[in-house]
Amino acid sequence: MSELLKKLAEDLYNGDADSVVALVRQALNNGLTPAEILEHGLIAGMNVVGKDFRDGLLFIPEVLIAARAMHAGMGVLKPLLAESDVPPTGRFLIGTVQGDLHDIGKNLVAMMMEGAGFEVHDLGVDVPAQKFVAEVKAWQPDVLGLSALLTTTMAEMKTVIEALDDADLRDRVKVLVGGAPVTEKYAAEIGADGYAANASTAVEEARKLLLLGGQCNTTGL
């Protein structure tokens, strides 16, 4: 990893949003790709925050400050990740499930989807099952993405799928699930159509789901 990306990860850890923004810009000027900066700078820094939070070395205020720096850095990358000549691929509705306030991973997935040509509608965090149902009905997405970061909230994904079933909407939308505690096995158990471990595989998986549903309107996927 370059010294620049190492410094970026460290400054994100320390919650220095101004420096994070400046270093992201510098890395772009040095010819690094947005994906490299995201993976080896921003996400690398956030991973250390996660480990130290788990081990009791960092507390919620510090994590929030680091998360704010992450958002600031992602703000610089967003237009670049979303830059795409791809014609609209499909409609992607996303949200973090009820009870869960984590949005960094969800935002990354949304950005990557936009970059891949999806029309994205982001419902934010702490989204109740009935809100997902209402939006599926109204906005008619091809794929619904559910994000959960807590073992206590991942069960809410099943509630959403059941609520779609109850509203007779389950066959109208493919459901893609993800988030740190979610596994492929869990996704299958709750009746999701797809699972992705990270933002780039989420794009691949959503494309596969569109092809399976016969809804894909682009070629060469």
Q: Are 165 and 136 in contact (CB under 8 A)?
A: no
The binder of ligand B1M chosen from 198, 208, 216, 221 (CB under 6 A):
198
* Spatial contact of 169 and 120, defined as CB atoms under 8 Å apart: no
150 is a contact residue toward ligand B1M (CB under 6 A) = yes
Q: What is the spatial distance between Cα 129 and Cα 203, in angstroms, rounded to a whole number?
A: 23
Q: Which stretch binds ligand B1M (CB under 6 A): 49-57, 79-87, 155-163, 207-215?
A: 49-57
Report the candidate in 20, 17, 15 with the shortest Cα–Cα distance to residue 7. Answer: 20
CA gap 196, 143 in Å, rounded: 13
Looking at the Cβ atoms of 31 and 199, the one nearer to ligand B1M is: 199
Per CB under 6 A, the segment of 48-56, 81-89, 156-164, 207-215 that binds ligand B1M is 48-56
Residue 95 per-residue DSSP state: E
Helix (H) or strand (E) run with residue 144 in it: strand 143-147
Which residue of 116, 141, 145, 158 would you call a contact of ligand B1M, by CB under 6 A?
Answer: 145
Q: Which is nearer to ligand B1M, 29 or 156 (CB)?
A: 156
Q: What letter does residue 127 receive in the DSSP assignment?
A: B
Span 157-196, contacts to ligand B1M by CB under 6 A: 176-181, 196
Give the x-and-dash track for 68-107 against ligand B1M (CB under 6 A): --------------------------x----xxxxxxxx-
DSSP 53-65: HHTTSS-HHHHHH
User: Judged by CB under 6 A, does residue 120 bind ligand B1M?
Assistant: no
Stretch that binds ligand B1M, among 46-54, 157-165, 183-191, 211-219 (CB under 6 A): 46-54
